[in-house]
Amino acid sequence: MKEYESYDRNPMYSYLVLLVLASAIGFKGWQTLFNNFAVDTVGLAPFHVGLIQSVKEIPGFLTFFSVYILLIVAEHRFASFSIVLLGIGDLLAGFFPSFGGLLMTTLIVSTGFHYFQTGNQSLTLQYFKGDRVPLVLSRLNRYTALGNILVGLFILAVSGFVSINRIFFIIGIVVIAIGLYSFTRKPVDETLPPQRKKLVLRKKYWLFYVLNFLSGARRQIFVVFSVFLLVQKYHFSVAYVTALFITNNVITYLLSPAVGRAVAKYGERRMMTIEYTGLFFVFLGYALVENQIFATAMYLVDNLFFSFAISINSFFRKQADPQDIAPSMSVGFTINHITAVILPVVGGALWMVNWRIPFLTSAFLSLGSLYFARKVRT
C-alpha cells in the first residue's frame, strides 16, 4: 500500500467522498420523502409501510453476491454503478404512486444504496489502516451528514410549491450525474493485496458477526418506526420532518470528527459501551413518554449515538487479514440484514397491537449489544 502524508491525500479518499455525498443525497432524499409520500399520497397503512421496509432490506441481505460480481468488475467501478442505480430508483419513485410502484422503486433504491455501502466500507478498510481507520470513517460520516443537510435544505426550500413526484425526479438526476462522473476517475492502488473472490466465514471474526447482527435488528426499528412515530402519531409535516433531519445532520457533521478521534484514543469497547447504554435509555424513552417535544429530542439523541457505529468496522480492521476485507464486508452486511428483512413487517403488525412494542424490543436488543461489546479486546 502506498503511504500518504495524510489520509486526505489518498486519491481513494476524495473518490469515496464524492460517492458518499451522492449516496447521502439519493438515499436521504428518498427517506425524507418516503413516509409522507406513503401516508399522504399513496395512503398506506402501517402494515404496508412495514412490508415495504422489509423488502427494502432484501438487497442488504443479498450483498454477499457482490463477492461474485467483483470477479468481473473492479470494486471502485462497482461502487460507481451502485450510485447510478440508486439515482435511477429516486428518479422513478414519484411516477408510481401505488403500493406496487413504491415497492418496485424502493427495491431499486435499496439495491443501489446497500451495494454501494458494502463497497464503500470495503474500500475504506483496504486503503486505510491503523488509527487512520476511525478518522476516515468519521470523516466520511461527516460528508454523509453534509449530503443529508444539502438535500434536506433543498426539500425544505421547494416542498411548498414543488410536488413530491418532481422532487424525487430532480434528486435522481443529480445522483445519476455524480455516479456517471465517478466512472471517469481511477483512484486505485495496484500494490494492495488482492481480495479473496469468495465468501469468507472465520471463527476469529465471530464477534464482528454478532455485533453486526444485533446492530441490524436495532437499527431497522429506529429507521422504520421512529420517523413513522413522528408522522403517524404526532402528525409532523414534511417540512418539520425535513427540518429535523437537517438538525440531526448538522449535529453529525459537527461531532463526527470528534467521535473518530475518541474511537482512536479510547478504543472501540469503551465507545460501544457508551453507545449501547445510551440507546437503551433512548428506546425506553420512545416507548414510555408520550410527548412531541420529548420524541423529537429522543430522535436527535438516537441519531447521535449511531455515529458511534464506526467502532464495529474499526474493531474488525484491527484483526482482519488484508485479503479478507471485501468478502467480510459483504458477509457482515448480509448478517446485519438477516433480522432487518423480517423485523419491519413483524414490527408493523406488532405496532397495530401496541405501538410501544417495537421500541421496547429495541431497548432489549441494545442490552444484548452491550453484553457482547464488553467482549471486545482493548
* Cell numbers placing 31: 427517506
**Per-residue model confidence (pLDDT) at position 321:** 85
From residue 198, how far is each of 71, 116, 168 by CA, in Å?
Answer: 9, 18, 37
- Specify the pTM: 0.83
Distance, CA of 296 to CA of 37 (rounded, Å): 21
What per-residue confidence (pLDDT) applies to 340?
A: 66
Query: Whole-angstrom Cα distance, residue 348 to residue 64?
Result: 27
The answer to whether residue 131 scores a pLDDT higher than 60 is yes
Is residue 220 within 8 Å of 342, Cβ to Cβ?
Answer: no
Residue 367 confidence (pLDDT): 92
Amino acid at 305: F
Q: Give the pLDDT score at 210.
A: 92
Alpha carbon distance 262, 165 (integer Å): 42
Q: CA 22, CA 4: separation in Å to the nearest integer?
A: 25
In this predicted structure, what is the pLDDT of residue 3? Answer: 59
Confidence of residue 344 (pLDDT cuts 50, 70, 90): low
Report pLDDT digits (tens) over 164-174.
888 999 999 99
% of the chain residues with pLDDT over 90: 24
Q: What is the pLDDT of residue 206?
A: 92
Residue 194 — very low, low, confident or very high, per pLDDT cuts 50/70/90? confident
Select the more confidently predicted residue: 21 or 342.
21
Local confidence band at 306 (pLDDT 50, 70, 90 cut-offs) = confident
pLDDT at 4 over 60: no
Angle separating helix axes 268-288 and 238-266, nearest 10 degrees:
150
Rg (the chain; Cα; Å)? 19
Q: Report d(CA 175, CA 372) in Å as an integer.
A: 38
Percent of the chain with pLDDT over 70: 95
Q: What count of other Cβ atoms lies within 10 Å of the Cβ of residue 25?
A: 27
C-beta of residue 270 within 8 angstroms of C-beta of residue 259: no
Q: Which residues neighbour 374 within 8 Å (Cβ) at sequence distance 6 or greater?
A: 269, 273
**Residue for cell digits 403500493?**
99
Q: Where are the alpha helices (DSSP H) in 94-226?
A: 99-127, 132-158, 164-182, 206-221
CA distance 163 to 148: 20
**How does residue 63 score in pLDDT terms, banded at 50, 70 and 90?**
confident
Residue with cell 435511477: 88
pLDDT at 217: 77
Task: Look at residue 37 and tell me whether its pLDDT is greater than 80.
Answer: no
133-144 average pLDDT score: 89
Domains, the chain, ordered by start: 7-373 (1.20.1250.20)
In 320-353, where does DSSP find H-type helix? 325-336, 338-353
Kindly tell me if the per-residue pLDDT of 36 is higher than 90.
Answer: no
Gap between the Cα atoms of 256 and 260, Å rounded? 6
- The span from the CA of 37 to the CA of 15, in Å, is 33
| pLDDT at residue 55 in the model | 78
For the beta carbon of residue 288, count every other beta carbon within 10 angstroms.
12
- Does the pLDDT of residue 124 top 70, yes or no? yes
Question: Residue 43, SS3?
Answer: coil
DSSP character for 6? S
Confidence band for 1, pLDDT divided at 50, 70 and 90: low
Select from 330, 317, 344 the least CA-distant residue to 218.
Answer: 344
Mean pLDDT over each residue of the chain, to the nearest integer: 84
Conformation bin of residue 196: beta by default, left when phi > 0, alpha when psi is -120 to 50: beta
Q: 89-115, pLDDT tens digit by residue? A: 999 987 887 788 888 999 999 999 989
Q: Mean pLDDT over residues 322-342, rounded?
A: 80
What pLDDT, on a 0 to 100 scale, did the predictor assign at position 112?
93
Task: Give the whole-angstrom CA distance, residue 30 versus residue 23.
Answer: 11
| Residue 182 to residue 184: CA distance in whole angstroms | 5
For the segment 142-156, the average pLDDT, to the nearest whole number, is: 88
The span from the CA of 194 to the CA of 200, in Å, is 14
Half-sphere CA count of 22, side-chain side, radius 13 A: 33
Q: Give 203-251 pLDDT, tens digit per residue.
A: 889 999 999 888 877 777 777 778 778 888 888 876 787 788 788 888 8
